[in-house]
Amino acid sequence: MMNTMKRNKELAKKILEYFRESTSTYGYTPVPEIEGYCREEIAYHCFLLAQKGYLNDKPMRSGNTFGQLTWDGHDYLESLEKANIQKREQ
């Protein structure tokens, strides 16, 4: 039986925050470890974010590292944060 993965915007937001805060300015950043999520789920979301253009470049062949956050990635993360603020203010 095939295990299906569903898109999780909260996880995507955590991943984008991780890459934004990453101190690596050159090269690639490893897939993060995020409490409450398995490695496969995190890697899957990194691939989705890279496909959408939110993480720079394609993942390296090993699939364990990704490029930096792109301009679009910063914009998307800011829109998610703004939506969270508006939701709390209601």
> Is pLDDT above 50 for 23?
yes
| pLDDT confidence bin for 66, thresholds 50/70/90 | confident
pLDDT value for 88: 74
**Mean pLDDT value across residues 61-82:** 84
pLDDT band at 56 (very low <50, low <70, confident <90, very high): confident
Give the per-residue pLDDT at 59: 54
The closest alpha carbon to 23, from 69, 72, 76, 56, belongs to 69
Q: What is the predicted pLDDT for the residue at 53?
A: 92
Write down all domains in the chain, each with its CATH number in brackets: 9-22+29-89 (1.10.10)
Q: What is the pLDDT of residue 28?
A: 76
